[in-house]
Amino acid sequence: MTWHAVTIAGYLLFVAGVVVLQLLAAKTRVPVPSFGELLTRAMRSRTGRVGVLVAWAWIGLHFFAR
């Protein structure tokens, strides 16, 4: 197995973790918050709200802007 494949597998594992947690939150009674609830909680304060929105803006800057 090459390092390239290992690195990709790591990203896929991360995506799988996100999907599993979201499914646990949405489809079961396991006490796991959904991603939306997590964001809502993080964005309750002004600093949290601005921080999350800046992180989103940074993604756009990173992939498209100079």
Partner 1 sequence: MSRAGPGPEDRHAQNHGTDSGGTATGCAEAVVTPPRPAGRALAALAGLRAPVVWVLLAIAFFTSISGKPVDGVLMLIVAVGLAWDAGRRALRHPETAAATARTARLTGRRRRFAVIALLAGAVVYAVVVGSFSRYSWPATAGIIGLGTVAVLIGWHGPVRARPDGGRLPVAGTLAWLAVLVAGCLWELSALLQQPSLTTDSHAHPTISTLTDPLLATSPGRSVALLAWVAFGWYLVER
# chain residues binding partner 1, by CB under 8 A: 47
**Site track 4-43 with partner 1 (rule: CB under 8 A), x = hit:** x--xx-xx--x--xx--x--xx----xxxx-xxxxxxx-x
For the chain, state the CA radius of gyration: 16
Q: Both ends of the chain: CA-CA distance in Å?
A: 35
Contact partners, residue 21, CB within 8 Å, separation at least 6: 32, 35
State the nearest-atom distance from the C-beta of 27 to partner 1, in Å.
14
Member of 2, 23, 27, 29 binding partner 1 (CB under 8 A): 2
